[in-house]
Amino acid sequence: MPIRQAKKSWVREVRDWCISLAVAVVVALLVQNYAFAQTEVKNISMQKTLIEGQRLIEDKLSYHFEKPQRGDIVIINGPESDKRLIKRVIGLPGDVIDFTEDGQVTVNGKALNEPYIKGRTYANGLQVPYTIPDRTVFVMGDNRENSMDSREIGPIAFSSVEGRAVFRLWPLNKFGQLN
């Protein structure tokens, strides 16, 4: 009799491992596709904060419960359906965006403190002052002189904001949370 019980235990152990593995794979796929994702920086528009080739973790879940905030680094679906853009949220619905003659951004009449930018910021053809419509955000790259952003493509609908970049994985010497 003891041999039969050992056989049942072994079969039960294998079955339990298979079930556990299947559940882990399903959870990992759901988390990867719906909660978090890995993305790669593929342009220079976010220099000096992000450079081409860096790998980031994207939080895809938060914006289902809260709206983007000024300063968030977001991944958006760009004007071309196959192109994703990484930009910083500068303005929120109802904000009035303007630019000073010396290349500074103002929001609601107050100059933004932007130690992360590279270059000066100009309107690039945008009619200013510009009021951001409801359910949209105004985004710009940190490399202000080399960025396709809301100054050219207009405000970004909340529904086009895929997620928020929260963590840098690569290169290892830059590993850590994004600001």
* Average pLDDT rounded to a whole number, residues 107-111: 92
Q: What are phi and psi of 18, to 5 degrees?
A: -65, -45
Annotated catalytic residue 87: yes
Is the model more confident about 47 or about 127? 127
Rounded to two decimals, the pTM is 0.75
DSSP assigned state of 32: I
What is residue 98's predicted lDDT score, i.e. its pLDDT?
92
Over the chain, what is the mean pLDDT? 81
Percent of the chain at pLDDT exceeding 70? 84
What is residue 35's predicted lDDT score, i.e. its pLDDT?
62
Indicate the SS3 state at residue 81.
Answer: coil
How would you classify residue 152: left for phi > 0, otherwise alpha for psi between -120 and 50, otherwise beta? Answer: alpha
* CA–CA distance, 20 with 25 (Å, rounded to integer): 9
Indicate the SS3 state at residue 34.
Answer: helix
Q: Which of 169, 175, 165 is nearest to 46 (CA)?
A: 165
Of 48, 81, 87, 110, the catalytic one is 87
What is residue 94's predicted lDDT score, i.e. its pLDDT?
95
User: Looking at the predicted structure, is the pLDDT value of residue 120 above 90?
Assistant: no
User: Looking at the predicted structure, is the pLDDT value of residue 136 above 90?
Assistant: yes
In contact, 157 and 89? CB cutoff 8 Å: no
Of 7, 8, 42, 45, the catalytic one is 45
Q: Which pLDDT band holds residue 4 (cuts at 50, 70, 90)?
A: low
C-alpha separations of 127 from 68, 92, 97, 98, 173 in Å: 24, 17, 10, 9, 41
User: Looking at the predicted structure, is the pLDDT value of residue 84 above 70?
Assistant: yes
